[in-house]
Structure 1
Amino acid sequence: MLWLKRQDDSPKEILNWKLWYGVFVFGLMGAARGLDEGLIGTSASQKSFINLFGLKDPSLSENQQADLLSNITSMVQLGSIGGALLAFFITDKIGRLWATRELCIVWVVGIAIFLGSASNGSIGMVYAGRFIAGLGIGQTTVVAPTYLAEVSPKFTRGLAVCMFSGSVYLGIMLGYFASWGCSIHISNSSEMQWVVPNLLHIYFAAIIFATSFFAIESPRWLVKIGKHEKASSNLSRLRNLPVDHWYVQSELLDINEQLDREREATQGAHWTGVLKELVSSSANRYRLMLSIMSQLLGQWSGANSITIYAPEYFEMVGQSGQNEKLFATAIFGVVKFVSALICALFLIDFVGRKRSLMTGITLQFISMLYMAIFLFIDTSVDNPETQTKSQKSAATGAIVMIYLSGFGWAMGWNSIQYLINSEIYPLRLRAIGGSIAMTIHFVNQYGNSKAVPSMFIGMEHSGTMLFFSLVTLIGLAWAWFFLPELAGKSLESIDAVFELPWYLIGRKGKEMTLAMGGAVDNFGTDKEKVEAVEDIQEVSAERKA
């Protein structure tokens, strides 16, 4: 199916095990975020965790209990803000592979401190450990999508980056099931009830760390730091083609030409010059707007609050028993994981970014609005014995809507928030653009995690759902007008989309730049390709000299 999507006659060798191995290693990093989102909410609903850290302490007011819960759940997001900011410097300084190993170490150290709190009930260790873990987890959202976008052929870029977003739900699903299993098989009086599931963090970090030693460094990063021979060798290995093959040479020329243009524009400025470049042109300001708004609208659409506080949401619509809530939550994890795989394999590159996002947002809007209306009308949901048959059917519908919102999120914002920010920026700005986007991501996720427990109290459940549904409606209008369709375009040719007037980029960008491709995209016959490659090799020889 991938081959049917090709828009040129690219050699079949470029889809090979070396490419997919790199996609596996870096895609798996998405599980870091997913494990935290899946484990912390379910851990905080375990009786052993509640008793150890006093989450239901009767001496605390309802608002104080909500603050304590939100502080625990949101501390990784707070650390991830710093991690996303650090990722720009680390990723560009030491490369994508060593940045991966560094973040795994930080991640494990933080989780070890967090789990150490089980021995003494120290809330300070919980905060410190989760903050440090966040410093590592936050870096994954920059390092992995950047690498995946840089090594993938243009017609598989959406799939590759969505392997990262799909792994978020692999982590969520495993976290949900681990918590559910431990709630059944480990006593409520034992701290192992929540410690054992959280060991998944360490297992995944160890797998990613070890497998990274067999992955291939990004050729685009190597070109950026001046290691042209190593870049050629790595690209040849990734594409499973000789270095002098026309496809490899044309891709190298595209990379070098774009980097040369960027360096000429900034005259080799310091990193402060990169920041200045990010806001000095209308094209880059538009890119920055896409980064900021995709994170702002995505995080406040309500989906992440359902992921983190899933047991509370299922209790909200009538699933009151602890095991019952955790089982419903685990099934929710399966729905989101399968949805993410479907989106990555069949939708993002085939249907397109824009249509996938708009369809996903529409499903979210329907789900959130249904839950808002249901919770406003049915005030007896906390007491199932008093519910009528129609009310019970409506409550079942609300559970279905929670699952439907998960599918809509996986199809829409979850895929786009990583993919768009990994492909819209030119090479020189890719790391800092992704870093800023993910900083905004975690700032809003932190605010959302902190706010939701208090929103449930101040706005009630129905008001909170209505707020989320209105945000999704705004997001739908924004996506239609501002978001360009970039499926099938090479990273280097995407620049042409942002050179259009701002009011055309989102609605007409792809159609108006269809003819703009890479260095040899417009050469149709083998003879023309050979001639193009000879020109490319001549330029390469001059550059080397």
Structure 2
Amino acid sequence: MTLYLAVFVYGLCGAARGFDEGNISGNISLPSFQTRFGLNDPTKTPNQLADLKSNITSMVQLGSIGGSILAMYTVDKLGRVRALQAVCILWVVAAAIQISSSSVGQLYAGRLLEGLAIGQTTTIGPSMSEIAPSRIRGLCVSIFSGAVYFGIMLGYFVNYGCVLTVPNDSDRQWRITISLKIILAGLIFILSFLFLIESPRWLLKVNRAEEAVEKLSKLRHLPPDHPYIVAEISDINEQVLAEREATHGYNVFRKLKDIIMVKSLRYRFFVLCAMAQILGQWSGANAVTIYASQLFSFAGVVGTDQLKMSAILGVVKFVSAYISAFFFIDFLGRRKALYIGLTLQLFTILYFAIFMTIVPEASNATAVLTSSQKAAAKGALAAIFLSGTGWTFGWNNIQYLLGSELFPLKIRSFAQSLVMVLHFANQYGNSKALPVMILAMTNYGVFYFFVGIMVIGLFWCWFFLPEVAGRSLESMEEIFNLPWYVIGRKGPELCPDYSEINKISHTDSRGNTYVDHVHYNVDISKVNQEFIEDIELKQGKSDGHLFQSSSNDQLLQSTSNDGLLERES
């Protein structure tokens, strides 16, 4: 249970961002919120109201850009667990500022500060890829992306419940909805002390080798001298030692330089991670989430039914996100899951755009629709729900997985933070631009734009994205040293995974490794002398021992039952 509880708490970080999106989506439709912050001010022009609405909704995304930059320092300096605990405290303060807001300026300040917290969770949460066995890594990281929709669903239902139970002229209507952020932050903070396990990869990186073995043993539910633990620690430690030597004095400027100048890193960052954020965020899913109530009005839904439909949308996204996490992302692989999700999202958004083109009067609450138009309107509602399902099957997982999987340890947290900067920059631009785009391009024009982006996304997936499901994090480098034009289509086939973990073919006690058998296959010709020259093995023992090299603080292990490592004389 240790692994699963840790994954659950890390994954719950996703609810931070999700709850805000669902919460603000409903808040801007609440009469009391509109009155307090001027969203129903008759003296304002439509463009001014659109600008005010976009400022309120997008302020968290703007703050999250700063939070993602801050995470470049905090996640590596404090570790994954302590960084998350600091984020929870900041989140509580930000929520308190919003709850007590009496002016739009104070609301901006609270939401901007909340963004500083949420921006860090998108680096901390996906770091669970460092504690997950490679065979269920996609599932574990998808727990985080699925939790986004748990938060969205929660935000939608809280708004809908407050509309039904709290008078429209009372500020308590929207203050109650925001107060749930304090409860959620406090819950994650408490659970982090009870169940979170620090990343063994980070512990090895900061020279806490014995603790790394202890934590990995606890996570895998196996003894420290088990062949699987030895193999995984060996893979991690080999990479850490090589990178420690290569990154002496490796500051932020050198990391940025490497991302730009090193071919393999440049491909991973710009071609894969950056394009995934651009294509994903501009595919229209964020617009559907934040402006769900307004989109439902285009299909003829009026009054509190808009919030009810938003709540149902939250349930659909939440359920489909976890169906994808448990049954698609690791079983089908990254590419096939994205193909399926993106295709479904494309056709449903296209239907919605065609509907708004042919039946524009549906957005008029007083319009009388024919029976065929009413049937088409129901199809449009279904299209919105199914587009959310397509998003959760496809882009929703990929946008977090790529940054957490593809980069080497020396730059992983930094690169993931940069990826999340792009994520929130695009989300901010999308949230900020959409109300104006709807006015400028008409309702349906925006959705044709989204369809065009998704067509490009399908080509990008086919040509550029390699399938890395099931590979160890330490085996990624070889793929990206291939010529750029073969990486996506043939990279994994040309560069099989030769990591130590994949040499384990049998085990009597598998723990949380998802490996079913135990025989350690050693090709002695592949043994690297640099990493075993200081090992003193004690053959013939029935138990394993830990050794640490005095010269380089390297963690080394020998096991006994069949002499996992042998020193060459």
| TM-score of the aligned structures, taking structure 1 as reference length | 0.93
Q: Could you tell me which residue of structure 2 aligns to residue 116 of structure 1?
A: 100
Q: Distance in 2 between matches of 1:332 and 1:367?
A: 14
Q: Which string of whole-angstrom CA distances, capped at 9 and with x for unpartnered residues, describes residues 21-48 of structure 1?
A: 1101100000001000000010110001
1:45 aligns with 2:23: no
Shift of 1:250: 1.1
Give the Å deviation of 1:385.
Answer: 4.3
**Partner residue in 2 for 1:360:** 341
Residues 1:193 and 2:185 aligned together: no
The partner residue of 2:151 within 171, 174, 182 is 171
Give the aligned residue type for 2:240: L
- Where does residue 157 of structure 1 map in the other structure? 137
Classify the secondary structure of the residue corresponding to 2:469.
Answer: coil
Does the aligned pair in 2 maintain the 1:165–1:414 contact within 8 Å? Answer: yes
Q: Is the 8 A contact 1:489 1:517 kept in 2?
A: no
Q: What fraction of aligned residue pairs are identical, expressed as a percent? A: 50
Among 532, 535, 538, the residue aligned to 1:538: 535
What's 1:7 paired with?
A: none
Do residues 247 (structure 1) and 228 (structure 2) align?
A: yes
**1:413 corresponds to:** 395
Identify the residue that residue 82 of structure 1 maps to in structure 2. 66
Separation in structure 1 between the aligned mates of residue 492 and residue 379 of structure 2, nearest angstrom: 39
Matches within 5 A, 1:324-473: 324-381=305-362, 382-383=364-365, 385-473=367-455
Assess if the C-alpha contact under 8 Å between 1:43 and 1:49 holds in 2. yes
Amino acid at match of 2:138: G
**5+ long unaligned stretches in structure 2:** 507-517, 537-545, 552-569
User: Could you say which residue in structure 2 is the equivalent of 1:265?
Assistant: 246
1:261-305 per-residue CA deviation (whole Å, 9 max, x = no partner) reads 223334442333222222221110011121111111111000011
Residue 142 (structure 1) aligned to one of 110, 119, 123: 123
Could you tell me how far apart the structure 2 residues matched to 1:530 and 1:511 are?
Answer: 22
| Cα distance per residue 1:434-473 (max 9 Å; x no partner) | 0000000000100111101111111110101111111111
Work out the CA distance in 1 between the residues paired with 2:505 and 2:344.
Answer: 42
Query: Using the alignment, how far apart are the partners of 2:42 and 2:414 within structure 1?
Result: 46
Contact 2:227 2:520 in 1 (8 A): no
Amino acid at match of 1:64: Q
Aligned-pair Cα RMSD in Å: 1.9
- How far is 1:393 from its partner? 0.7
Counterpart of 2:510? none
Whole-Å Cα distance in 2 between the matches of residues 41 and 269 of structure 1?
A: 42
Give the match's secondary structure for 2:549.
helix
The answer to whether the 8 A contact 1:149-1:160 is kept is yes
1:278·1:429 contact (CA, 8 Å) conserved in 2?
no
CA distance in 1, matches of 2:310, 2:2: 36
Q: 1:93 aligns with which of 57, 70, 77?
A: 77
Q: Aligned partners of 1:179 and 1:278: how far apart in 2?
A: 43
Deviations 1:179-223 (A, max 9, x none): 001101110011111111222211110011111112211110011
Aligned length: 523
Identify the residue that residue 561 of structure 2 maps to in structure 1. none
User: CA offsets, 1:138-176, max 9 Å, x none?
Assistant: 100001101x10000001100100000000000000110
Higher helix share: 1
Which residue in the other structure is 2:185 paired with? 205
- CA displacement at 1:520 relative to structure 2: 4.7
- Aligned partner of 1:203: which letter? I
TM-score normalised by length of structure 2: 0.89
Aligned AA for 1:369? L
Letter in 2 for 1:313: L
The AA in structure 2 aligned to 1:391 is: Q
Residue matched to 1:133 = 114
Aligned counterparts of 2:426 and 2:37: Cα–Cα separation in 1: 26
- Per-residue deviation, residues 502-537 of structure 1 (Å, max 9, x unmatched): 1111111222223x2312523657564599899979
2:298 to 316, 319, 322: 316
Q: Look up the match of 2:511.
A: none
Residue 51 of structure 2, aligned match among 54, 61, 67: 67
Q: Which amino acid aligns with 1:224?
A: K
Question: Helix, strand or coil: the match of 2:502?
Answer: coil
Q: Name the structure 1 match of 2:560.
A: none
* Distance of aligned partners of 1:208 and 1:524 in 2 relative to their CA distance in 1, 3 Å threshold: closer
Alignment counterpart, residue 2 of structure 2, candidates 11, 18, 22: 18
SS where residue 492 of structure 1 aligns?
helix
* 1:266–1:273 Cα contact (<8 Å) kept: no
Task: Give the partner amino acid of 1:241.
Answer: L
Gaps of 5+ in 1: 1-16
SS at match of 2:474: coil
Structure 1 counterpart of 2:91, one-letter code: W
Q: 1:292-322: per-residue Cα shift (whole Å, max 9, x none)?
A: 111111110000111011100101111012x
For residue 486 of structure 2, the aligned residue among 501, 504, 521 is 504
Q: Give the counterpart letter for 1:259 in structure 2.
A: V
